[in-house]
Amino acid sequence: MAVVPNKRAGDAIYLKVFVKDGTVDPPQLVDPTSGPIVDIYRPDGSTAVTSGVMTKVSTGIYTYIFQTQTTDLNGQWLVDFIATDGAGHTSKSLQYGFFNLTA
């Protein structure tokens, strides 16, 4: 996931994920059998969103809109995406995406 530019507390954060089958060459967009879902963590490590359901845009492309509050903590927020394939393998992104909230 790419880094989202700094946003102000109170702004909506638009997240997008591409789900690909890496067992074929080249990798192709696919729909997971479960998910994808999103977890979002505040700068202090506490959880803001657990298992947020993402909206399907088209095959393998999903979005989630997270509305921040004006009272939310400033700093780096972490984002993690989770999906399960047809064989029951769960993939949790190993590289967190993030966004920064500023005053």
End-to-end Cα separation, the chain, in angstroms: 24
Instruction: Report the distance separating Cα 29 and Cα 64, nearest Å.
Output: 18
Provide the whole-model pTM: 0.82
d(CA 19, CA 31): 7
Is residue 27 within 8 A of residue 92, CB to CB? The reply is no
> Is 4 a residue whose pLDDT tops 80?
no
The per-residue pLDDT for range 12-69, each reduced to its tens digit, is: 998 888 888 878 889 888 898 888 999 999 999 999 999 999 999 999 999 999 999 9
Class of domain 4-102: mainly beta
Q: Shortest CA distance to 50 belongs to which of 62, 66, 34, 63? A: 66
pLDDT digits (tens, 9 = 90+) for 70-102: 999 888 888 888 887 766 666 666 445 667 767
